Amino acid sequence: MRSLKISLILALFTILNVNVHAQVEVPFTQRTSQYSPLQKIYNIKGDFSLIGNTNMTLVTYGDNTANSSDMKYVDIDENSFNTFNSSSATLQFNSENGCKYI
């Protein structure tokens, strides 16, 4: 009886061929501040720090590589038995111009 129900459900999905979208598309719009509603492009004045890491990298780098180049997972711990994708990033501040950091 259970296999009959499963077969009927699968047949129903196959017959209906429903298209389902798993992601909602939101068009890009520029943000603005309530204090300057006409300004949409902002300039950063002063120093700033940025940190980031990656999950995938190119297998081979070159000046003439295309967008279809082979990628591989970043694995900094080189422990393929427990992880296949591990990355790291370090944020370093400088103290030039007498700047202090927390």
Residue 71 host element (H or E): strand 71-73
Q: What is the pLDDT of residues 65-91, one digit of tens each?
A: 776 778 888 888 877 778 878 888 888
In angstroms, the CA 32 to CA 29 distance is 10
Q: Tell me the C-alpha to C-alpha distance, in Å, between residue 37 and each of 32, 34, 43.
A: 6, 5, 15
Give me the pLDDT at residue 18, please.
Answer: 62
For residue 41, the model assigns a pLDDT of 78
Query: Residue ranges per domain, the chain?
Result: 50-89
Backbone φ and ψ of 86, nearest 5° = -140, 135
Q: Against a cut of 0.95, is the pTM above it?
A: no
pLDDT at 99 over 80: no
Q: For 19-42, how does the pLDDT look when each residue is reduced to its tens digit (9 = 90+)?
A: 666 677 788 887 787 888 888 777
Residue 63 has pLDDT above 60, yes or no: yes
